[in-house]
Copies of this chain bind each other. A is one copy, B any other.
Amino acid sequence: MCQNRFMSNTELLPVLESEAEPCCPPLDERPLTAEEAERTARMFKALGDPVRLRLFSAVASHRNGEACVCDISDVGVSQPTVSHHLKKLKEAGLLSSERRGTWVYYRVEPAVLAAMGAILTKAASV
């Protein structure tokens, strides 16, 4: 690792910005545009796998909506697979992660979850 003090340590974080919140209107308000559908589908897709759904539910039902990977890894698949799914949930904006010492903690992102719920619940009152 080249830690030359004269080189500015260009730390280019990818800044995984979670896109704005008022993502989309309720599903029954008007037909979604292609872009809206693309964004929204990404979130639903993340919950469209049983293992991911169990992992997400395990994190969400944990104390403070936060859990260590070691607490939720018992879902019947190997640990690399658990890690793979947690990564996907993170990429979809549903979870965030933080390392604290030896362990990595995942936490639910309530805003995104609420947005998904709003899209459905308003639509449910048809």
Contact = CB atoms under 8 A, between A and B. Distances in A.
In which size bucket is the chain A interface?
A: 35 or more
A41 interface: yes
A9 to B, nearest CB: 24
Contacts of A123: 60, 108, 113, 117
Most-contacted residue by chain B among A27, A49, A52 (CB, 10 A): A27
A69 interface: no
A104 interface: no
Interface of A: 27-34, 37-38, 40-42, 44-54, 56-58, 60-61, 65, 72, 75-76, 108, 110, 113-114, 116-118, 120-121, 123-124, 126
Given A27-B60, A47-B48, A116-B120, 15 more contacts: A27-B57, A31-B72, A33-B54, A34-B75, A37-B53, A41-B53, A45-B45, A60-B126, A110-B126, A113-B123, A114-B120, A117-B117, A117-B121, A117-B124, A118-B121
